[in-house]
Amino acid sequence: MDVTEWLLDSDPAIRWQVMRDLLDAPPGDTAGERARIATGGWGASLLALQAEDGYWGGQEYGIDGDRRSVMWTLHLLRRLGIDPDAPETRSAIARVRDGVVWREWGDLPFFHGEVEECVNGGVLALAAYFGELGAGSDRIIERLLAEQLPDGGWNCEPVEESQRSSFDSTLCVIEGLAAYERSVPGAPPEIAASRRLGEEYLLERGLFRRRSTGEIVLPRYANLKFPPYWTYDVLRALDYFRSAHDRPDPRVADAVELMVAQRGGDGRWLAGTPWNGQVFFAVDASEGEPSRWNTLRALRVLRWFDGRSV
């Protein structure tokens, strides 16, 4: 079984992305496979775990790293690529919209976000993906633009504690801003300008290096994992730039090579150390085993970067 066949021998969430991003399958075929996410496999299983009050696991975010919550379940559904217009998806999102609030932040509705930049960037991405933009996303964008730091990025730590941006927070925010721009033609130009400054913060550092010394900022940036949750790694960053830009910036080259160095002799990438926290069920291989998610994402990054085939 070659790598492509191995990737296709999986859940609909992986198959449809392989068809779209690696095989250039006809849109009708891709859409048909994508439609299966909401009715079978991981996507349907996650939808079935939602309570009538809109919550997963009784939590909007998750205490002590528990990933069985509204925030991380919706992010996983988004990364699976579930059709946001499928009836099953619309029912789940309606329950979130009508029932889930940020209880530590004055019962703000879920899609209005809270106060941390990394959380709000993620909520903005969810609102854009699931068609829930409005007053809540306007609130989030106003905050994010005001909270951008002088170096171009963002940091969830209060400004009185740090004036230096975080790779983690910055990627969460630019993912949200880019998702908003894709959903809102003619979005205010200051949103794109802010996003580009955030991208520049990462690009100036080659997506993983300290600008002062050229050393890797944190070893975990080379740990390729799925789902990434809020955490940064070079594959998540590269996949973002692939989705946001038709042509790669030359400054991502070292990050691509860092990713390629982890490719096995059989053409596959292994699963990295998973981020901590309890989950409903695993959607990727165990640490050290061949990872379909890492392999899929890395291969589509390579197609974008230099046209390398599967």
pLDDT on residue 308: 73
Q: Which helix (H) or strand (E) holds 108?
A: strand 108-109
DSSP letter at 186 equals T
Angle, helices 87-99 vs 41-48, to 10°: value is 30
pLDDT on residue 157: 78
- Residue 12: count of CB within 10 angstroms of its CB: 23
- Alpha-carbon separation of residue 169 from 217, 231, 279 (angstroms): 14, 8, 22
d(CA 277, CA 64): 7
DSSP letter at 101 equals E
d(CA 125, CA 105): 20
Q: Tell me the whole-structure pTM to 2 decimals.
A: 0.97
Mean pLDDT by 10 residues, the chain (310 residues): 95 98 97 97 98 98 93 98 98 98 97 97 98 97 97 83 89 98 96 98 98 96 97 98 98 98 98 95 98 98 87
Sequence spans of domains, the chain: 1-63+83-97, 100-204, 218-310
- Alpha-carbon separation of residue 170 from 151, 165, 178 (angstroms): 11, 7, 12
- Alpha-carbon separation of residue 32 from 9, 20, 26, 58, 70 (angstroms): 16, 11, 10, 33, 27
Note whether 74 and 95 are within 8 A (CB): no
d(CA 1, CA 5): 6
